[in-house]
Structure 1
């Protein structure tokens, strides 16, 4: 996540349900940059946002509201990632949302959800988590939170991360293209539908591994080269 959204100070948050325990999940601590977070820093909380066990750091309450929505609603949303990258926020501010004029964007053709901005998330608006789950729907793995940022879910950390990586790349390309003069080339509907299937096959490792694991493993090797202490 540091390689993807490391410039977002301390505001990016991710969660994953504790294996074998649907009532607790882990969240990155509030106050640490993503590049500082180690495995031992993760905080265990329950669905009401209460910290379970000792922790040196507080919990991002906005993160708790956003992330407690989907784990309670969908079995395939065991990991939730939310970012405020510049490309993601740029597209989140565009009335037409994500466009399908590049291969990354095409991978989300008819597979992207939207959630209207309700102001900053937090304990004062706890009911928003129900609307977040409703906005995401029953099958999409990615959502644009208008005027806010991006959100992806997955059955595993690997799957949620890979969807976020691809969604952010789609937004980055779109922001660059829309800042250039000239007309855009829009692929055919047939090409869009083909790319969706191809993207899903790619994320699923063409059946050779669990969703996202092939690409996520490559990023894990990169992190080990940069700073292996992240796993401490």
Structure 2
């Protein structure tokens, strides 16, 4: 028989993960990082990384509750059948990455304004011009080969670019941005700061003035220091949930 204590703990852990995910959907909408009823977040919830939670098809980020998230298996294509089938492009991108990149346990894909502007530039690399952008020095890549909507083949192609566990952001050229992490808190933290850094970079370009770049050693040192900085991601998500609770949000339901 299953261990009752362990089963209860697993259920509680899964419920907490659902609530964490729901909170980030609500906060992404508040920050205007969502797009209509498009874009998706996903989180692996088993040891192999192939079973994952994801937002349901065609539901606005501002409405998503913990119980709304659907549980999928990246190795089970029958998930695309039935009334609760996920968005086919979400299955193509997120399912492929969860199947092929087990180190990427949480994925957050949006078409946020500044990151998407960056994705349209001939050089979509984010240079280290301030502390926030230095956070992603040698920790982001650019996919310069957009191949259309992220159905299965495109998702597999994107997954092939993500073999390096050090990568936290993929700028999806002509498309948007994808953040990768181990936890919901960590991944949303990366997504938030990349958008902030892209905002600064795009604004700096708009001045037409020469930019001041950090040298490689300082950028690398800063990235390492920020990666090791304690508790910031967890504290950010904790306070997001506290604010939502104080406002009477139903995200936990």
TM-score norm. by structure 2 comes to: 0.79
Give structure 2 stretches of 5+ with no counterpart: 1-27
Q: Separation in 1 of the partners of 2:198 and 2:78?
A: 34
Q: Match of 1:118?
A: 147
Instruction: Find the counterpart in structure 1 of residue 235 from structure 2.
Output: 214
Q: Identify the match of residue 55 of structure 2 among 13, 25, 28.
A: 28
Specify the alignment match of 1:101 in structure 2. Answer: 129
2:149 match: secondary structure: coil
Contiguous gaps of at least 5 residues in structure 1: none
Select the structure that is richer in helix.
2
Matching residue within 66, 72, 75 for 1:39: 66
Stretch deviating more after TM superposition (182-191 or 215-224): 215-224
Q: Cα distance 1:21–1:112, how it changes in 2: closer, same or farther (>3 A)?
A: closer
Alpha-carbon offset, residue 58 of structure 1? 4.6
CA change 1:16–1:52 in 2 (3 A) is: farther
Matched with 1:144 is 171
Displacement of 1:54: 8.7
Deviation by residue 1:187-219 (Cα, 9 ceiling, x = unmatched): 2222211211122012xx2xxx5x832322222
CA distance in 2, matches of 1:15, 1:121: 15
Once residues 12 and 4 of structure 1 are traced to their aligned partners in structure 2, the CA distance between those partners, rounded to angstroms, is: 14
2:133 is the counterpart of 1:133: no
CA RMSD of aligned residues (A): 2.3
Q: Who is 2:214 aligned against?
A: 187
1:228 paired residue number: 249
Distance 2:86 2:178 in 1: 19
Total equivalences in the alignment: 222
Larger radius of gyration: 2
Partner of 1:90: 117
- Inter-partner Cα distance in structure 2 for 1:53 and 1:28: 16
The 8 Å contact of residues 113 and 143 in structure 1, kept in 2 or not, is answered as yes
1:41 shift after superposition: 0.8
Q: Deviations over 1:169-195 (max 9, x none)?
A: 111111111111322111222221121
Q: Structure 2 vs 1, CA of residues 54 and 128 (structure 1 numbering), >3 Å: closer, same or farther? A: closer
1:17 and 2:44 aligned: yes
Is 1:74–1:138's contact at 8 Å kept on the other side of the alignment? no
| Alpha-carbon distance change, 53 to 227 in structure 1, aligned in 2, over 3 angstroms | farther
TM superposition outliers: structure 1 runs of 4+ over 4 Å: 52-55
Q: Is the 8 A contact 1:88 1:150 kept in 2?
A: yes
Structure 1 residues 131 and 229: alpha-carbon distance in aligned structure 2, compared to 1, 3 A threshold: same
Deviation of 1:7 (Å) = 4.3
Would the alpha carbon gap of residues 216 and 163 (structure 1) be closer, same or farther in structure 2, given more than 3 Å must change? Answer: same
SS in 2 for 1:183: coil
- Kindly state the Cα deviation for residue 21 of structure 1 after the two structures are TM-superposed: 6.5
Residues 27, 6 of structure 1: alpha-carbon distance in 2 compared, 3 angstrom cutoff = same
TM-aligned CA distance change 1:196 to 1:226, over 3 Å: same
